[in-house]
Amino acid sequence: MTSRRVPLLPLLSAVLLPAAVAMVFFYAPTERTMGVVQKIFYFHLSLAAVAFLSFFVACVAGVLYLVRGKRRWDAWGAAGVEVGVVFTTLVLITGSLWGRPIWNTWWTWDPRLTTSLILWFIYTACLILRSAVESETRRATYAAVMAVAGFVDVPIVFLSARLFRSIHPTVIRSDSVGLEPSMIATLVVCMAAMLVFWAGLVRLRYGLHLQEAELGDLTRRLGG
């Protein structure tokens, strides 16, 4: 008899994501000043957190690839960049949706927004680089260097609203959290749901990259 392993991450995602959405709309109170549009905040912040985590994974994987030259580190790096670009795109979209009724504009060249857009351009360029270089070794090396160098912008994005004059709200500070207890609980559940979903996506893309590389090896051997 064969046993089937239950896919833990998809199962947790299927439970946590609906729970997070329900808490955002039915448990967390409506903010007095911004109204219902403030509820985008829970998704916006959670998306930003996992986007940063994606690029951290890509940076660490890039360093390890440059040191050890193992294919698996290139696969982790590629997965981190791909998922990070997707989540950064969603961060920019949700930020614009949140900002439009509050700032009366879809976009402003605020330090936080500008540095986030630069981050998106950096890692999108990394994806383009991967598709433009045919040699696996050179592609992995160039992408690793770019992933490591691009990560410099992540702390700049994080600190931009604190270091520069910015209209972007800073809710969580080192000395206080400007949220009610029910809002904090909702944010924690949203962050947990997004983290589990993120982990499943990165793990899936990592496995697919390894399979693509092995298929390429097999194709070359049969062709030779």
Q: Tens of pLDDT along the chain (224 residues)? A: 344 555 888 899 999 999 999 999 999 998 888 888 889 999 999 999 999 999 999 999 999 999 998 999 999 999 999 999 999 999 999 999 988 888 888 888 888 899 999 999 999 999 999 999 988 899 999 999 999 999 999 999 988 877 776 666 666 654 556 678 898 999 999 999 999 999 999 999 999 999 988 887 788 788 75
Full-model pTM: 0.89
Q: Residue 118 and residue 99: Cα distance in Å, rounded?
A: 19
Residue spans per domain, the chain: 16-25+38-167+179-218
| CB-based burial label for 198 (10 Å; 0-12, 13-18, 19+) | buried
Q: Residue 136 and residue 157: Cα distance in Å, rounded?
A: 31
Phi-psi region of 164 (alpha: psi -120 to 50; beta: other; left: phi over 0): beta
- 65 C-beta neighbours (distance < 10 Å), count: 24
How many angstroms separate the first and last alpha carbons of the chain?
A: 40
**Long-range contact pairs involving 166-173 (C-beta distance under 8 Å, separation at least 24):** 166/110, 166/111, 166/112, 167/103, 167/108, 167/110, 168/110, 168/111, 168/112, 168/113, 171/41, 171/45
